[in-house]
Amino acid sequence: MERISWNQYFMAQSHLLSSRSTCTRLMVGATIVRDKRIIAGGYNGSVSGEDHCIDEGCYVVDNHCIRTIHAEINALLQCAKFGVPTSGAEIYVTHFPCVHCSKAILQSGIKKVYYAKDYKNHPYAIELFNKAGIEVVQVELEDMVFERYDKEKRQLTTDLLHLLKKAGANEDELELLTNKAKQFYTLQENNLE
């Protein structure tokens, strides 16, 4: 069995955290890691005990929802609350951090930022990271990371395509199905022929 990479593992954690987001505009998750160990996680949501966007709608001022605390800030605050140092740590975020989160990341001593998706990548945030020597790396989450039975599903698809071919299925239809399967899976060419 092949294990997923550390980057995929931590990015998957951030995507899982984002599913707890209560802001309807964008679901974001962040995971802070030191020495290959998760030290904190956060998602964008309201202050504890306050109304949430999913319940009351976003509170938008100057095109920003001010009801929510961003995922990166929530993760950093979790470290502060429990006395966990962030100096030298890394952060995995589902989206490129906004300027305010970028400044907080910089001030916290985090040395490396991984993000999955570009999102209004502000030039000033990029400039701040560059000046501080903080490495910023895009790591898109591979689709199949969450799929528990990926290998078995790929094999079943391959077996079904072989059976269709043996049964004399129309070549054009078989080619269409094979191409669709390749879109869903990373199947080896020789397995489908």
Could you tell me which residues are beta bridge partners of residue 95? Answer: 117
Q: Is 50 a catalytic residue?
A: no
Map residue 29 onto helix, strand or coil.
Answer: strand
Residue type, 176: L
Contact 106, 128 (CB under 8 A): yes
Residue with tokens 């990548």: 121
- The count of C-alpha atoms lying within 13 angstroms of the C-alpha of 118, restricted to the half-sphere facing its C-beta, is 5
Segment holding 113, helix H or strand E: strand 112-117
- Spatial CA neighbour of 49 closest among 77, 69, 79: 69
Residues 148, 159: Cα–Cα separation, whole Å:
19
Segment holding 33, helix H or strand E: strand 29-34
Q: Which of 56, 72, 147, 152 is catalytic?
A: 72
Count the Cβ atoms, other than its own, within 10 Å of residue 12.
Answer: 19
**Catalytic annotation, residues:** 72
